[in-house]
Amino acid sequence: MATARILQTGPGTSIQDLGRMVGSKYGIPTSGVMDPKSYHWVNHVLQNDPNDAVLEVSQPGLKIHFDAPTLLSLAGAKAKVMVNQREISNPSMIAIQPGDILEIGQIFIGRYVYLGIKSGFQTKITLGSRSYFSPVTGESMVKKHEDLPFQSLRSSSSSLSRSKPKWKTEWFEKQELEAYPGPDWNLLDRNTQFRITNGIFHLSKLSNRMGIQLEELIDNRLPELPTNPVFPGTVQLTPGGKLLILMRDAGVTGGYPRILQLDEDSISHLAQKNCGEPIRFRMKDF
Amino acid sequence: MDLRPHYMEITPLMGELVWNEAPNDELLSWQIGYMDFLKKNWSEKIKEFRQGFTRISVVWKKELFQIEFKNSLSETQLKPLPLPEDVWEIPVCYHEEFAPDLILLAEQKKLTPSQFIELHSCVLYRIHFFGFLPGFFYLNGLPEILHTPRKSVPILSVPRGSVAIGGGQTGIYPGESPGGWHIIGRTPISLFDPVTDPPVWAQPGDRIKFRAIRLEEFKNWPDIKPISSRK
């Protein structure tokens, strides 16, 4: 098996696929990519299986060495991408030769960059997924000098398609997220509901793969509720009056009121937002 | 008692079976009956379901399946399933080395530490479901006198195996984690192992009995899996 060696990385780089569906009855979070929309795009461009594993990168400073020919595709956040110190203007499809070094520098727009590889990274599968999650896989991030296996191609340049697709980021630059009323929405009074559906909220610094907390305070007079199931995209109202949007590594159950549920695309959309960015909720009915 | 739930749609692909009773054994046996029914009759149409104290949430593969399920529910004749008989004995060392909050908690409740330990370890607790962290089970049955509001500021690192009380619940941290519960002891056994199948040894409906052990016993505890008996 060929090897991609991590020469350098910022914190928060991990291997991800669509996550584990089998583990919630044991309390295991789904994990998986924060932004499935961008992830599906790179696997589609590479003509991969829809569940092939990619590198999810959330900080500049990744430097990775490939010892065999392959194809890469990058999408998600827009970042400076270099191969052998030469900047790549459209990184949607890159042919890699043995010895090539790819670098991800400054991230300009968005939060998570997806680095897909032909046939996916071949790291170990635990409980049905390659997604890093420390209680299950031992590590939550890739480390410097870590070797990631992949299947090499005989020749990378002949596999390049003639027309390069172009990745667009406009869809995650808008403010509006689409949400359904959650199971506990009707416990809120009219004023609070109005505030949530009409207000502008900002992402706080408390934000990671488990969840994203919003800055603004909401009056919370709800009683304590029994612990019940939650999912990625569930918006909880904390006892302190903050909105907490659960993301991929969140626990499978929670005790705070579940007031909204984001639709699937809006979870991808939110994942690409950075601290301080504004969002609004647009309520959906069906 | 007839504890048939109603079904609430949340999104076109997600909804939940809703009970409004406080968590209890009978409700749990109805939930286990419904989960068994979902597994046997609907598994090909379901992406995933999750259990909580008073809900079972279902994620459907197609919008149509949710509508089909909702429409058929009122005609579905279901019975609660009997709860399992297994009782797992979990050794807990309540020594102050592992129980930073026990003495203060006992004082607040005007109990001696040994009375506190006796109250915590004399009852049988029922496992309702797993959540919060991999291998963490939610238990029902904490004596009311031991109920204690969670800490206002969670601590950054609760050691693996810590036995703790938060609100009306007691539980064991299966791995190191931040946490807001009061730590009253530690178990030497393992609650979660991702390389075994299944990765946990108990299941919803089983019962848990804590048994106080001494510090030397903790340090030389031979097994990582607890002993089960049937009662």
Residues of A with CB under 8 A from a CB of B: 21, 23-29, 126-127, 135-137, 180-183, 224, 226-229, 231, 251-254, 261, 263, 286
B174 — contact with chain A (CB < 8 Å)? yes
Contact B56 A229 (CB under 8 A): yes
The pLDDT-based confidence of A223 (bands split at 50, 70, 90) is confident
CATH 2.40.100.10 residue spans of chain A = 174-283
Closest to A211 measured CA to CA, from A175, A169, A262 = A262
Whether the pLDDT of residue B102 is over 70: the answer is yes
Please indicate whether, in this complex, the C-beta atoms of A21 and B47 are within 8 angstroms of each other: yes
pLDDT at residue A163 greater than cutoff 80: no
Q: What is the mean pLDDT of residues A116-122?
A: 98
Q: What is the mean pLDDT of residues A204-229?
A: 93
pLDDT of residue B227: 84
Name the band, by pLDDT with cuts 50, 70 and 90, for residue B231. Answer: low
Question: For A265-281, what is each residue's pLDDT tens digit?
Answer: 999 999 999 999 999 99
- Taking each helix axis from N to C terminus, what angle separates A264-271 and A36-45, rounded to the nearest 10 degrees? 90
Nearest Cα to Cα of residue A17 among A100, A126, A93: A126
Average pLDDT over residues A182-194: 96
Local confidence band at B230 (pLDDT 50, 70, 90 cut-offs): confident
pLDDT on residue A159: 64
Token pair of A188 as six digits: 């809120």
Q: Are A236 and A206 in contact (CB under 8 A)?
A: no
Q: Which of B54, B133, B194 sits opposite A228 (nearest CB)?
A: B54
Interface predicted TM-score of the whole assembly (ipTM), two decimals: 0.93
| Structure confidence at residue B181 (pLDDT) | 94
Please state, rounded to an integer, the average pLDDT across all residues of chain A.
95
Region class of B135: left (phi > 0), else alpha (psi between -120 and 50), else beta: left
Pick the CATH number of A174-283 from 2.40.100.10, 1.20.120.160, 3.90.1420.10, 2.60.120.10: 2.40.100.10
Which runs of consecutive H residues, i.e. helices, occur in A65-162?
134-137
Which helix or strand (DSSP H or E) is residue A14 part of? strand A14-16
Average the pLDDT over A83-101 and give the result: 96
Distance CA B57, CA B7 (A): 9
When pLDDT is cut at 50, 70 and 90, the band that residue B61 belongs to is very high
Residue A214: CB atoms within 10 A of its CB come to 20
What share of chain A in percent tops pLDDT 70?
Answer: 98
Cα gap A17→A128, rounded to integer Å: 10
Cis bond before residue A135 (omega within 30° of 0): no
| Cα A286 from Cα B15, distance rounded (Å) | 13
| Cβ contact A24–B50 (<8 Å) | yes
Spell out the domains of chain B, with CATH numbers in brackets.
6-73 (3.30.1360.40), 86-230 (2.40.100.10)
- pTM for the model: 0.94
> What confidence tens digit (pLDDT) does each residue in B150-172 have?
887 888 899 999 999 998 999 99
**Residues of chain A contacting residue B132, judged by C-beta atoms under 8 Å apart:** 27, 227, 251, 253-254
Residue predicted with more confidence, B153 or B136: B136
Q: What share of chain B is helix, strand, coil (3-state, %, to 5)?
A: 25, 30, 45
Residue B60: band (very low, low, confident or very high) from pLDDT cuts 50, 70, 90: very high
- B48, A228: Cβ pair inside 8 Å? no
Task: Evaluate if residue A50 carries a pLDDT over 80.
Answer: yes
> Does B53 lie at the interface with A, CB-CB under 8 angstroms?
yes
Q: Does B154 touch chain A (CB under 8 A)?
A: no
- According to the model, what pLDDT value does residue A80 have? 98
The reported pLDDT for the residue numbered A162 is: 64
The pLDDT tens digits of the residues spanning B118-132 come to 999 999 999 999 999
Residue A161's pLDDT band, with cuts at 50, 70 and 90, is low
Chain B neighbors of A31, CB-CB under 8 A = none
Residue B58 scores a pLDDT above 80 = yes
Q: What is the 3-state secondary structure (H, E, C) of B156-213?
A: EEECCCEEEEEECEEEECCCCEEECCEEEEECCCCCCCCCCCCCCCCCCCCEEEEEEE
A58: Cβ contacts below 8 Å, ≥ 6 apart: A10, A11, A12, A13, A111, A112, A113
| CA dihedral sign, ordered A39, A87, A117, A107 | negative
| Rounded average pLDDT over B180-187 | 96
Is residue B229 scored above 90 in pLDDT?
no
pLDDT of residue B164: 97
Given this model, what pLDDT does residue A221 score? 87
